[in-house]
Structure 1
Amino acid sequence: MIFLALIHTDVCGPLNMPARGGFQYFITFTDDFSRYDYVYLMKHKSESFEKFKEFKNEVQNQLAYTLNRVPSKKVEKTPYEIWSGKKPHMSYIKIWGCEVYVKRQISTKLEPKSDKCSFVGYPKETRGYYFYNPSEGKVFVARTGVFLEKDFISKGISGRKVELEEIQESQGIDTPMDE
């Protein structure tokens, strides 16, 4: 399976109670392989295509960031090295979509010290990583985390189990209708 080979999308709304900012709709984009979700709020359903373009740009930017730091057979240097004159530091490159445990900023003695998140990219404006916390539905930036890349690679299949059930139409019995 390949990341982003199949994306599911859905538009929901109008909501009974608009969200802060007057948002009445939202659109989701879900990667079939990793089950990673992107959610965008919308004031109008007609914004769906613009949100798709936003999603596509975000994914392409993350892909370009990684590809520019990977060597190719045709050129001895990476595109980043040719462009900037510096070798890229590769130690921080991580597998997109892998599970990560990120330390909580504030936690009590009885709460877990970290949250299970997904790695979703690199911020341009600061050092660190973008993480998605599914329990809060938020993307945030943190500098460190415990990346479970080996577990992610060893899965090799979608984390979703789909069971199909065959449904057959029953043979109907004709009964005379009362006249």
Structure 2
Amino acid sequence: MVSGLPSLITPAKLCTACLVGKQHSESIPKRSLWRASQKLELVHADICGPIKPVSNINKRGDEFTSNEFGEFCKANGITRQLTIAYTPQQNGVSERKNRTVMNLVRCMLIEKQVPKAFWPEAVRWCVHVLNRCPTLVVQNRTPEEAWSGIKPTVEYFRVFGCLAHVHVPDQKRIKLDDKSIQCVLLGVSDDSKAYRLFDPVSKKIIVRDVIF
């Protein structure tokens, strides 16, 4: 658009001022270039935290950098690929799933007015449900069926934070005592076919079958 302008193209020379003032990170593809062909061949993992407030079981979150974890991986033939500092894009699969889970957890706690200290319970229930929901990554199966080979049932699903009545065993009450107590549902137990509930009177988590 003008004449007489000297050539500014000097490919062999870098402008330090431009690098300092304009340099940006290269974009990282969202889609992985390699996919695992069998279970546990590739595991994406990330720690979400530290989270405040500290949970009801004193959990906050920490990184996979302890000597103990490193020795465990070495002893079991596990190869680790750590991301570069300040580049969460390199671990996009885990980062996106963490964001999805924490957004759901935040909404669950707000909707039922459950204290924030119970976020681990909300996370556990949220992940349990997501593993039994359709996903674009696994076609025509839920993640649970892809992992176990068994089509899951969801008939036991209940709303997180809802009220439930827990039966008090005969051995723990006398004639005129209440036969049940009202508790808050926090999810299902990992160890037995029962629900995890919070008793607001004793301030304890109990594992029991319930009536809604």
Tell me the TM-score normalized by structure 1.
0.51
More strand by share: 1
Residue 71 of structure 1 deviates from its aligned partner by: 2.7
Partner of 1:157: none
> What amino acid is the match of 2:125?
Q
In the alignment, structure 1 residue 61 sits paired with structure 2 residue 124:
yes
Q: 2:115 aligns to what?
A: 37
Partner of 2:184: 118
Structure 1 unmatched ranges of 5 or more? 1-7, 11-30, 40-54, 148-179
Whether the 8 Å contact between 2:122 and 2:186 is mirrored in structure 1 is: no
Separation in 1 of the partners of 2:113 and 2:203?
A: 14
Cα RMSD, aligned residues only: 2.7
| Structure 1 position 145 matched with structure 2 position 210 | yes
Give the deviation of 1:9 after TM superposition.
5.3
Pair 1:70 & 2:133 matched: yes
Question: Does residue 136 of structure 1 match 2:199?
Answer: no
Structure 1: which amino acid aligns with 2:129? T
The separation in 2 between residues aligned to 1:113 and 1:78, in whole angstroms, is 39
What SS is found at the alignment partner of 1:120?
strand
Equivalent AA in structure 2 for residue 118 of structure 1: V
Cα distance change of structure 1 residues 63 and 81 upon mapping to structure 2, 3 Å threshold: same
1:122 aligned partner, one-letter code:
V
Distance 2:189 2:147 in 1: 20
Q: Contact 2:121/2:186 (CA < 8 Å) preserved in 1?
A: no
CA contact (8 A) 2:122 2:160 kept: no
Matches within 5 A, 1:1-179: 31-37=109-115, 56-72=119-135, 75-105=139-169, 106-142=172-208, 144-147=209-212
AA of the residue aligned to 1:145: V
Deviations 1:9-45 (A, max 9, x none): 59xxxxxxxxxxxxxxxxxxxx443232365xxxxxx
C-alpha distance in structure 1 between counterparts of 2:53 and 2:149, whole Å: 41
User: In the superposition, relative to structure 1, how do residues 58 and 97 fare at CA in structure 2: closer, same or farther (>3 Å)?
Assistant: closer
What is the total number of aligned residue pairs between the two structures? 105
% identical aligned pairs:
28
The structure carrying a bigger helix percent of its residues is 2
Distance of 2:157 and 2:113 partners within structure 1: 21
Q: Give the AA of the match of 1:110.
A: L
Q: Distance in 1 between matches of 2:200 and 2:115?
A: 9
Deviations 1:91-139 (A, max 9, x none): 2222111110010122222111000101102221222110111111111
How big is the shift at 1:69? 1.1
Answer whether contact 2:196 2:207 (CA < 8 A) is retained: yes
The runs of 5 or more residues in structure 2 that have no matched partner are 1-51, 55-108
Larger C-alpha radius of gyration, 1 or 2? 2
Q: What does residue 28 of structure 2 align with?
A: none
